[in-house]
Structure 1
Amino acid sequence: MRSVHRVVVVFFSILSLSQSRYSLQDAFKQIETQAIAASDAESISARHLLARLMNDALLNNTATTISNAVLGLQPQSNQALRMLDATGKPSSGILDGNVQFFGDYDECVNLGSDTAHYCIVATPLASAKYPYKLIVPLLQWGFCVNSTTDNDTIGNAVFDLLRKEFLVPTEYASATCYDEKSFTAFQIILITVFSLIGLVILFSTLYDIIVRAEKTFSTVPISLHVNQSSSSEMDDESEERNGLLNSSAKAEKKRDEKKEDVDSGLTGFFFAFSLARNLPKLLNVDVQSKEIQCLHGLRTLSMFWVILGHSYIWDQYGYTIANPLDAYTILRQFAFQAVANAFYSVDSFFFLSGVLVMYLSYQRMKANNGRFPWLAYYLHRLWRLTPAYMVVLLILWQLSPYFGDGPVWYQLSHSTKLCDSYWWTNLLYVNNFHPTNFSDECMGWTWYLANDMQMHVISPIIIIPAFAFGFIGLIIPLGICLTGVFLSLIIISSKYHFQANAILATNTLGNYQNLIYSKFYTRASPYLVGLFLGYCLARSASDQFKYHKFLRWMQKKKHIVAPVAWFVAFALGLVVIYGVYDYNRGNGHKYPEALSVMYLTFSTFLWGLALAILVFMCYTGHGGVINAILSWGGWIPLSRLTYSAYLVHPLVLTYIALSARSPVYFLHRVMVFRFVGAVGISYLFAMLLSLSIEYPCAAIEKVVRKSTICNRCTRKE
């Protein structure tokens, strides 16, 4: 027991010094004095055991309050000793930032709610000299206390002990005590609705199978719902224009070819939930001749990149890392820059959105004699994105607190409370503007969806002139928009003196997220590049553009053009990803402000340009092995799940991080295993979300559209 005492003394002695990791001479003198004073403790009563563990000299009101809370009124009982045993104690690794003393959560909970409950006290070490300011170090200390102890009692006692007695640099200490949770009326209604959807899917699937079986026995062909729709994953992919949503990118499927696929009326609505119809669409790997096949691989790998980057930071945001200082030093590794700069994967999605919006809209307008489908353009997009989006939001907001438990599970309540106030901003796709603080958003990772929707809304000002006036009609509005993006970035980054890697390691992180990272007018450059490429691909796919002189020249000079193009693409990508390596090494190097402004202004544009070259080379037959990899048929089902995977993967990572019973030691191999697991589980839940919400909504939309067309035809007759 004396060894535990000395560990505690070492811990608080170190924290009471100047926060320097290397000024320990005075600490050792203080530790020696206190350890000698403690060596005469031969017998310790259970009543005062916790107080003695903290410091013999601190047998005052504060220490007594904590010991009473932990040991209760029967100090010699087995339950009291178990409560003490379940209470967190400092462990090794303090100098590496291990200030997570969770204790044994399950041992405390198993004592029963009538006897004890688990409380965790969190206090930020605001003045600790961590090399990066992305996350303020947080001391989290678990206590198993008697059931009558409330949050304020244990929180105030620990704060007084840390602040007044041990001189720990902290401004507050918040305590959360875990008690049994009960469902609200709204949550019960929500569970009931989700259960009914599950029953509808079950009965729809069973009935569909029975109908198919009857048709088989009556020798009626059953190619009805599988073969004829095999070339499309959601019955109407010509309308898909989102970087996360998959698109077969077909020119325009004739309406009379699709009428047989759709049941009308209530039958159509009922069969929309059938797994027997939706699952083959999801797993089908057929492609069309005019499809941009490499986008499947690019979309899927970009999603993997998103999950990889989040896997490395999610535990740090949850403060469940045992060696955070070692974790931060990983930023200094050259190879790790691809993970540290994983946020460019989102710019890949912006680029893909721009390509598909222009490519498909151009072909749609061509099929409709130049008419732009205003109503369908906006309503289709809202209908396809919003249902799955709102389902995940409701799960996070109302049901996720019941999915797990653990010492740091309390942190999930922060997200749910934000949704109490701001859920409506997600519904309106304005959550990147309100709330004004990026960290206050409900479902913080959905800032991308707000940006993408806003870019989608204004895209017709480029699409329509491009179709009507050709390259001149494209270049003028596109150039104006791109100039606006560049000017916004230059003005904001200059005014606030952002460094080139402002997203990673500066004290200006909050302002950067609020002013640049989450705003469409500063993130639109890869989207605009995508619009330009989409136009080029749409024109090259048309007969009158097939023999354009540039393509003929490129074909003649392919042995020169192809290597040069690939070199430029890879060079641009490497400059963007590894351009801030000197700063990330943590050697105190800072770029001149002009260079930082230039990087912040043009990095996302250059990334979009690199992707544009890649896609263009693959589409025109100069992709080689890269095109073979990106166009592999196995990517197609995963590509169709990208949108759902983007929505659900943070919930998976949150569960993994916040359900931890002990701090995780940060190692590459540990993070890789967590990443692989997160990918598998995320795509499993993404498939469930797609088959239960996304695909049925797409089928319902088609039923409604067919009914509308039939009504119009009836009126004309």
Structure 2
Amino acid sequence: MEAKYGVRKYLQEMKTNHFFVTFIVVLVTCLSSLIDIGVVVEGHRIQQVSNHYRATPNLYHINQLLDYQSSSSSPSSSLTSLSSPSFGIFALLNKNSSSSSSSSHTSPPAQYVNIKPLLEQQLESSSSDVISGQCQSDLYDLSKLKYPDSFQIIEASGKSFFDLGNYDNCLSLPSNVSQYCSVSVGMVTGMGGLCVPVSCSEQDINLALQTAVNLTGMASKLGPMGYQGQFTIHCYSGDHTTIRPPLTTGPIIMIIVCSIIIALVIAGTLIEYIVFKIKDEKKDNNNNVFTSPNGAIDGIFQFDEKKQIQDSSNEWIKESSLGLQILMSFSLIQNYHNFTTSSSEKKHFNVLDGVRFMSTCWVVMGHTIAFNSQLGYDNFAYVMNSVLPTAAFQIITAGEFSVDVFFMLSGFLVGHALLQQLDKPEYAEEESCCGKLLFWMKYLLHRFIRLSPLYYFVLFVFWQLSPQFGSGPFFFGYDAITKSCDANWWTNLLYINTLYPPTMLTECFGWSWYLGDDMLYYIFVAPVAIILYKRSQKLGILYIIFLLALNFITNFWITLKYDLGTFFEFGIQSIIDATFITDIYQKPWTRVGAYAVGLVMAMIVEHQGMLRVIKTHLSVRLVYYTIAAALTSFFTFISYNSYTHPGGWSTMSNAFFNACGHTGFVIGAALFLLTAFAGHGGLVAWIFERPIFKNLSKLTYSTYLIHPIVIWCMAYSRVTPFHYSNSNVAAYIISSLVFSFFCAFIVHLFVEKPCVNLEKLFFLHRRPQQQQQKYTLLN
């Protein structure tokens, strides 16, 4: 009876196609471990046997496992695993079977399916077309352990998905013996690695995997995970250890641009050092100033601050002042000095520095966890079942609120600056339309010049240059991320990337959606709100109410219409759901609520009455503290309820959360900031006001732009999957933060700050002092 012996008997009977069956079984082993199917075992004993034979998964060991399972008593427990190190063949065989034989040493249990007819059908129809002749021959020798270095090849191959095998060991063998092939299904499902004979092409492996999928009926289960009829295969040999795109015109241009910037920095630094060193020596000789014990560089700062330069070299500077100042805008001496010094005139706003820094760290922390999941965790089931549904992890998932904090801060600072500008007599007394139009043109131009140089630089480095930064068998995944810029880079230059392309999945430099929304708010929301408020406070408040209502209605309606989840649902469908991340996550009308809250803060600070009440009434402060703590804590940890609630939240609950969550959190943060502005922010405000945050907050913009490049380069350069544990995650988050801020510091000194200096130089150069202050640009 064929059903009686099942797989083991059939595998023993295979002759001419024995090698192909071996390969299919191993591939099915990898595939079956990917899917959440019950694995019937007897306690932990079967796990111990499978671990013992894990290193050499040939047919003999598979038969040993089958013998052990059939000789054991009736199965009494089940193990569900996404990435079990034991052979996934059990998951395959655990599917419903028409056979009904009893469990015994000579008769496999009824849970096993007889796959002989399936294999025969596949082999007869396609085996000769699937794998090339030489590949089949080498696989046959490998299954018989006759292929060179057979044990090492098998040992270096992954045993399941999220098991990448041993990339280094596989490639350490002679290049004419083996090659390492990465296998991926989709972004969410992670990847696997196979060490196979070098004669097997990527097409051979891809088609063989498709055959395995057809044998097991796994296509329907892999579909939601990103499977679209084929796998992504990349093979590497000892002479070809990674995929790195060639240096085409784009990368070469970026290398030239970077070289020019470095040359300007060197020139500007040398000029400032040499010129002011000469002045320093002359002034020492004339006893006009005192010397710094720290040397010439400190002396430079003293001369600049005291403005006591009185020697003949000034004439040379005046004759070539513009050219000199252009070069000196790139000086590391000047830019580092500006970085380390504080010039804030409004001390009660110092708390914003700490808020900006901590919000940036929150963004990096969340992206470190999320971006690493694209390559996969080797304990993915543990992450899904034991990490995500914990209260502590909700702090990480709530990191999305950090972007809303940035929107709130942007709305407050822009609104506050506009209110101050419109109160100045120069604007109020300006009767001509041309004069006011000039003000608003400068308003827009300043924002564009302030954000664009660094933004464009990092964008083109990401698109053209960063694919050269990493290496490894899975770095092709990073290169694929940059490909969306090939068609849509121009939308980022125009700040319309949240409006076009229609889906975020094809958006270039995807995390820059924040800049697109913020620019739209800066142009169309803030000026309207402030102008209406100056005309009539009621009109301004009505406009804010309209914005909040728009935010609520659009989020609520879109969630109900498309039956969407929330941002903290890490299920596969919510991750790949283009509707959620496009229509809820990044559209300007669904995130405008936080910006509107910031504008309200600016109006409150302008009015001053409420701040006086907060400052003089303890009871009011206590109410503010309570509401602020309640709102921020509620929206941070309420997601924990969705994991403990049977079946998760309903669509209606999701709609209310999406409609209220982002705005509700920043209302709590805004109440805290208002108490801090009134001088009663308590210990938290005292911490955020420390001088170190004033320096670090200057790096938040560049860190936000750079950190995904850092995280992805680190993640996709790995040759082993990430193992999720508290210590590993803490170390990885800290390394991502340190390296991101370090790169941001370099870019700040070399690109961001020089561009700020140039803007000031060209807008204020050789203007009368009164005219320079007439239309002060917004900072």
Pick the TM interval, shorter chain: 0.7 to 0.9
1:142–1:445 CA distance, 2 compared to 1 (3 A): farther
Structure 2 counterpart of 1:141: 193
Query: Is 1:156 aligned with 2:207?
Result: yes
* 1:576 is the counterpart of 2:640: no
Query: Cα 1:670–1:476, aligned 2, differ >3 Å: closer, same or farther?
Result: same
1:22 is matched with 38
The residue that corresponds to 1:236 in the other structure is none
SS at match of 1:575: helix
**Given the alignment of the two structures, is residue 496 of structure 1 paired with residue 512 of structure 2, yes or no?**
no
| Aligned residues of 1:501 and 1:580 also touching (Cα < 8 A) | no
Return the alpha-carbon distance in structure 2 between the equivalents of residues 388 and 604 of structure 1.
28
Who is 1:638 aligned against?
696
SS at match of 1:176: strand
Matched, 1:538 2:606: yes
Number of the residue aligned with 2:256: 192
Contact 2:234-2:473 at 8 Å conserved across structures: no
Q: 1:365 aligns with which of 422, 433, 436?
A: 422
SS of the equivalent of 1:157 reads helix
The equivalent of 1:426 in structure 2 is: 492
What TM-score results when the alignment is normalised by the length of structure 2?
0.74
**Counterpart residue number, 2:647:** 588
Find out whether 1:405 has 2:471 as its counterpart.
yes
Q: Which amino acid aligns with 2:636?
A: I
| Counterparts of 2:390 and 2:133, CA distance in 1 | 44
Shift in Å, 1:339: 0.9
For 1:224 and 1:702, the matched residues in 2 are separated by: 24
What per-residue deviation string (whole Å, max 9, x for no partner) do you get for residues 667-714 of structure 1? 122111100111100000001111111101001111111237369989
Greater mean deviation of Cα atoms: 137-146 or 188-197: 137-146
Rounded to whole Å, the distance in 1 between the matches of 2:658 and 2:640 is 14
Measure, in 2, the Cα distance between the counterparts of 1:538 and 1:262: 45
Shift of residue 167 of structure 1? 5.1
SS at the partner of 2:392? coil
Moved more, 359-368 or 621-630: 359-368
Offset at residue 483 of structure 1 (A): 2.1
Supply the distance in 1 between the matched residues of 2:551 and 2:682 (Cα, whole angstroms): 34
2:325 to 268, 274, 280: 268
Instruction: Indicate which of 644, 658, 670 corresponds to 2:728.
Output: 670
Pairing of 1:74-223 with structure 2 (within 5 A):
80-81=148-149, 85=153, 88-91=156-159, 99-109=161-171, 118-124=180-186, 136-143=188-195, 146=198, 150-160=201-211, 162-165=212-215, 168-169=218-219, 170=222, 171-178=229-236, 179=240, 181=244, 182-219=246-283
Aligned to 1:322: 378
Kindly tell me: are residues 14 and 154 of structure 1, through their superposed partners in 2, closer, same or farther at Cα, counting changes over 3 Å? closer
Using the TM superposition, name which of 570-579 and 270-279 deviates more: 570-579
Amino acid at match of 1:301: M
State how far apart, in whole Å, the 2-side matches of 1:415 and 1:605 are.
Answer: 31
Task: Indicate the residue corresponding to 1:350 in structure 2.
Answer: 407
Higher-Rg structure is: 2
Report how far residue 414 of structure 1 moved: 1.4
Q: Tell me the distance in 1 between the aligned counterparts of 2:280 and 2:196.
A: 64
Q: Is contact 1:13–1:166 with CA below 8 Å preserved after alignment?
A: no
Structure 2, unaligned runs of 5 or more: 1-20, 66-91, 93-114, 223-228, 290-296, 307-316, 431-435, 773-779
Q: d(CA) in 1 for partners of 2:508 and 2:133? A: 36
Q: CA deviation at 1:70?
A: 10
What is the CA–CA distance in structure 2 between the aligned matches of 1:556 and 1:228, rounded to whole Å? Answer: 44
Is the Cα–Cα contact under 8 Å of residues 24 and 208 in structure 2 kept in the other structure? no
When residues 78 and 399 of structure 1 are mapped into structure 2, their CA distance, relative to the original with a 3 A threshold, is farther
Which has the higher mean CA deviation after the structures are superposed, 446-455 or 433-442?
Answer: 433-442
Give the stretch that moved more between structures: 612-621 or 102-111.
102-111
- Residue 262 (structure 1) shift: 14
Structure 2 vs 1, CA of residues 506 and 11 (structure 1 numbering), >3 Å: closer, same or farther?
closer
Cα distance in 2 for residues equivalent to 1:16 and 1:678: 34
Name 1:544's counterpart in structure 2. none
Match of 2:671, SS state, is: helix
SS at match of 1:525: helix
Which residue of structure 1 aligns with residue 717 of structure 2?
659
Equivalence map 1:520-539=2 (5 Å): 520-539=588-607
Measure, in 2, the Cα distance between the counterparts of 1:488 and 1:410: 38
Aligned to 1:237: none
Does the 8 Å contact 2:349/2:677 carry over to 1?
A: yes
- The equivalent residue for 2:582 is 514
**Aligned residue in 2 for 1:249:** none
CA contact (8 A) 1:6 1:35 kept: no
RMSD value, Cα: 4.1
Which residue identity does 1:619 align to in structure 2? F
The answer as to whether partners of 1:86 and 1:105 remain within 8 angstroms in 2 is no
1:415 and 2:488 are equivalent in the alignment: no
Deviation by residue 1:207-240 (Cα, 9 ceiling, x = unmatched): 2111121111111669998579989xxxxxxxxx
More deviation, 369-378/562-571: 369-378
Matched, 1:462 2:529: yes
Following TM superposition, by how much is the alpha carbon of 1:407 offset from its aligned partner in structure 2, in angstroms? 2.0
Is the 8 Å Cα contact of residues 123 and 140 (structure 1) preserved in structure 2? Answer: no
Using the TM superposition, give the Cα deviation of residue 324 of structure 1 relative to its aligned residue in structure 2, in angstroms.
Answer: 0.8
Q: 1:229 & 1:9 partners in 2: Cα distance?
A: 75
**Aligned 8 A contact 2:180 2:193 in 1:** no
Q: How far apart are residue 576 of structure 1 and its match?
A: 1.1
Residues 279/217 of structure 1: CA separation in 2 closer, same or farther (3 Å cut): same
- Kindly indicate whether the alpha-carbon contact (under 8 Å) linking 2:188 and 2:572 is maintained by their aligned counterparts in 1: no
Distance, in Å, in 1 between the alignment partners of 2:572 and 2:279 is: 66
Report the CA distance shift for 1:697/1:109 in structure 2 as closer, same or farther (over 3 A).
Answer: farther
C-alpha change, 1:122 and 1:616, in structure 2 (3 Å) is same
SS at match of 1:310: helix
Change (3 A) 1:659 1:360: same
Correspondence for 2:765 among 686, 707, 713: 707
Which runs of 5 or more structure 1 residues have no equivalent in the other structure? 41-53, 125-134, 232-259, 541-547
CA shift for structure 1 position 397: 1.1
Question: What is the letter of the counterpart of residue 626 of structure 2?
Answer: F
In structure 1, what is the equivalent of residue 393 of structure 2?
Answer: 336
CA contact (8 A) 2:473 2:717 kept: yes
The percentage of counterpart residues that share the same residue type is 25
Residue 571 of structure 2 is aligned with which of 494, 500, 505?
Answer: 505
Instruction: Tell me the equivalent position of 1:235.
Output: none
C-alpha distance in 1 between matches for 2:202 and 2:26: 27
Deviation at 1:510, TM superposition (A): 2.5
Compute the displacement of 1:467 (Å).
3.0
Alpha carbons of structure 1 residues 9 and 698: separation in structure 2 relative to 1, 3 Å:
same
Match of 2:625?
566
CA drift of 1:89 comes to 2.4
Q: Distance in 2 between matches of 1:83 and 1:117?
A: 14
- What do residues 227-255 of structure 1 show as CA deviations (whole Å, max 9, x unaligned)? 79989xxxxxxxxxxxxxxxxxxxxxxxx
Cα pair distance change 1:17/1:518, threshold 3 Å: closer
- Once the two structures are superposed, residues 625-667 of structure 1 have per-residue CA deviations (whole angstroms, 9 ceiling, x without a partner) of 1210111111011100000000111111101211111112111
1:438-449 alignment runs, 5 A limit: 438-449=504-515
Partner of 2:691: helix, strand, or coil?
coil
Q: Is the 8 A contact 2:24 2:209 kept in 1?
A: no
Whole-Å Cα distance in 1 between the matches of residues 304 and 633 of structure 2? 41
- Local SS of the residue matching 1:635: helix
Alpha-carbon distance between aligned partners in 2 of 1:637 and 1:83, rounded to the nearest angstrom: 56
> What CA distance in whole angstroms lies between the structure 2 residues aligned with 1:645 and 1:493?
32
**CA–CA separation in structure 1 for the residues paired with 2:458 and 2:154:** 35
Cα distance in 1 for partners of 2:133, 2:413 equals 61
- TM superposition score normalised by structure 1: 0.80
Deviation at 1:579, TM superposition (A): 1.9
**Is 2:568–2:639's contact at 8 Å kept on the other side of the alignment?**
no
Distance 2:133 2:476 in 1: 21
User: Alpha-carbon deviation of 1:537?
Assistant: 1.7
Most deviating of 489-498 and 567-576: 489-498
Which of 295, 307, 311 does residue 368 from structure 2 map onto? 311
